[in-house]
Amino acid sequence: MPVAIITGASKGLGEALARGLAERGWDLVLDARDPVPLAEAAGLVSAHGTRVTVLPGDVTDAAHRAELVAAAWRLGGVDLVVHNASALGAEPLVPLEELPLDGLRRALEVNLVAALGLVQEALPLLRSAAAGAVLVVSSDAAAEAYPTWGGYGASKAALDQLAAVLAVEEPGLRVWSVDPGDMATDLYAAAVPDDDDPRPEPATVVPAFLRLLDERPASGRYGAPALLEERR
């Protein structure tokens, strides 16, 4: 069975994607910092009969990233790395004038530096996989200038570029950066607590991610809404 590492898999998009992959028989290595919701999520995912290893930890911790890859190796290798865990930099979001620089550093560490650290750790196994892939979760804030989304958006823009260069350097892999679109999650609520407009549940965008894995289009940046629209 193919093996995926998914960061930030205790809730939201990460958990929904883990369930989507488990339904298709993927073995999984999942992380998040809080072990309680992570264990609950693992219970749901394991119901699909695949092997699931959960490792509570922070993606900014190099030893934890090494444990994630070692756990995947014990399951048979690394076919897919999904860097989904994310930090906003300020909760709620604030204009750049007020953005704490430590918050910006944290967003860069979680969203960008940890992504590269995990990929570096997993690269030997990804290269030896039959169809190795890296999937980083981006945002439209990486490409659009929304007030208050500057620090987070800058980290995601840098993540997009990192993925684009990795794709050129590693032509044997697929490297996709995916903007999932707005979703009703704790991250969105923390970013904009006063915005109570209805938003899609994360499970509704999972088919877009599965489509990438099914069709393996060229490395690049993709929007989940467009992937879903084209499939209808």
**In which residue are the tokens 């088919």 written?**
207
Name the DSSP letter for residue 141: G
Stretch of 45-53, 89-97, 126-134, 184-192 contacting ligand NAP, by CB under 6 A: 184-192
Which residue, 107 or 173, is less far from ligand NAP as judged by CB?
A: 107
Q: How many CB atoms lie within 10 A of CB 194?
A: 6
Q: At its nearest, how many Å lie between ligand NAP and the CB of residue 37? A: 6
Stretch of 65-73, 78-86, 126-134, 211-219 contacting ligand NAP, by CB under 6 A: 78-86
User: In the set 70, 188, 207, 210, which binds ligand NAP (CB under 6 A)?
Assistant: 188
> Which residues lie closer than 8 Å to 93 by C-beta, 6 or more apart?
148, 149, 152, 191, 192
Q: Per CB under 6 A, does 150 bind ligand NAP? A: no
Which residue, 12 or 103, is less far from ligand NAP as judged by CB?
A: 12
> Which residues lie closer than 8 Å to 174 by C-beta, 6 or more apart?
131, 132, 133, 134, 167, 212, 216, 217, 218, 219
Q: Per CB under 6 A, does 177 bind ligand NAP? A: no
CA distances from 7 to 100, 106, 115, 160 (A): 25, 16, 9, 17
DSSP secondary structure string for all residues of 162-178: HHHHHHHH-TTSEEEEE
Q: Is 152 a catalytic residue?
A: yes
Q: How far is CA 132 from the centre of its chain?
A: 16
Name the DSSP letter for residue 27: E
- Per-position x/- string for 20-49, each x denoting binding to ligand NAP as judged by CB under 6 A, each - no binding: -----------xxxx---------------
User: In the set 85, 112, 123, 126, which binds ligand NAP (CB under 6 A)?
Assistant: 85
Residues touching ligand NAP, count (CB under 6 A): 30
User: In the set 2, 77, 202, 223, which binds ligand NAP (CB under 6 A)?
Assistant: 202
Residues in touch with ligand NAP (CB under 6 A): 7-14, 31-34, 58-60, 84-87, 110, 137, 139, 180, 182-183, 185-188, 202
- Which residue numbers are catalytic? 152
